[in-house]
Structure 1
């Protein structure tokens, strides 16, 4: 077998195997069909979608349109083979979620004064802070939008008294957004799947917090929002 053809088929088949795994090994394991399903879930597939569709056509030509076992009507160029192998390698060794997270994570205790947290919003240029108890139990994510809604509910005669108001007071007002946790060693695919599942469940996932073990009460090592996922697409486009 032609060396380039062999390398192409090996890489293509391994990518096909990844697509089957991504989709739970469905009965219909047509490559292009699996590609379409995976497009919305995985950034590597999304970025290289059109290219992989073209490679699927070439693969069909290699398999079905050869004259003899050792004679192919069409053979892939070296650049094509190397491109396919690069995509395969990225799928084999996906980057860790922490690479795309905002870190280090600034967080506050539930006893922290709201005025202190509001000052941090202004100084740090972020839109949310995790809140923990004095025993390091995760209590929720305090967002600037949540504070605005809390103020709107609390205002009295155009005045709001923030004296002695703490993070716990605002969180207890029932404005705590949806949060999930993931190990800091988890892959970017696991991260993307969390957000994709929340969309399927019609549940807005505000952020994923990364900890060493993936448990809520460990120290936060990184935080990922939907905006951070844009970094994933940009990185794949640049590679």
Structure 2
């Protein structure tokens, strides 16, 4: 009987040890799966600009595609998240970060369509001008020399305002001498002390190549991105 008890005790220890090792292995695997893209090797990431460019992938939340051609971006301040195009590339010249403001500049070039998009997302926090939407829109209108009404749309979480201008460059001797520009403001429904100012410009990059830039497609792209903005409460 004593001998049997010894054998059973030994088996229990061995099985228990295996269980612990298995649990630890699962925890290690889960930890590896939760690594941020910036901590992974570029060869193990999606072969698109958003991940292959080191500065851009610092903003990427995960390698999981949210919608076809779009991944999830999180600001360095960890205050907002939004959809980001797979071929988007961070622009250091258009970006900055301070206590009350984070500016994320980026561009995307669609080689097949010959369309260049320049985007800018500015997160504001704690400034007095955020308390009145009309005041914020006046500031944005001044920056863009805009005097028309803004298109207003709401989601369950945000209020969105969009202005639009088509510009023609008469002094440029080129076939595609125009651009589409979209700009405006996004604010959370539950807060008056934060918001996102945005600006997107679409142009045809190469005049020697056909360009499929049209206003509706450009507008749809901007709408997709700004309507995806979510303010994070931590």
Bucket of the pairwise TM-score, normalised by the shorter protein = under 0.3
- Answer 1 or 2: which has greater strand percent: 2
Q: TM-score, normalised by structure 2?
A: 0.22
Higher relative contact order (CA 8 A, sep 6+): 1
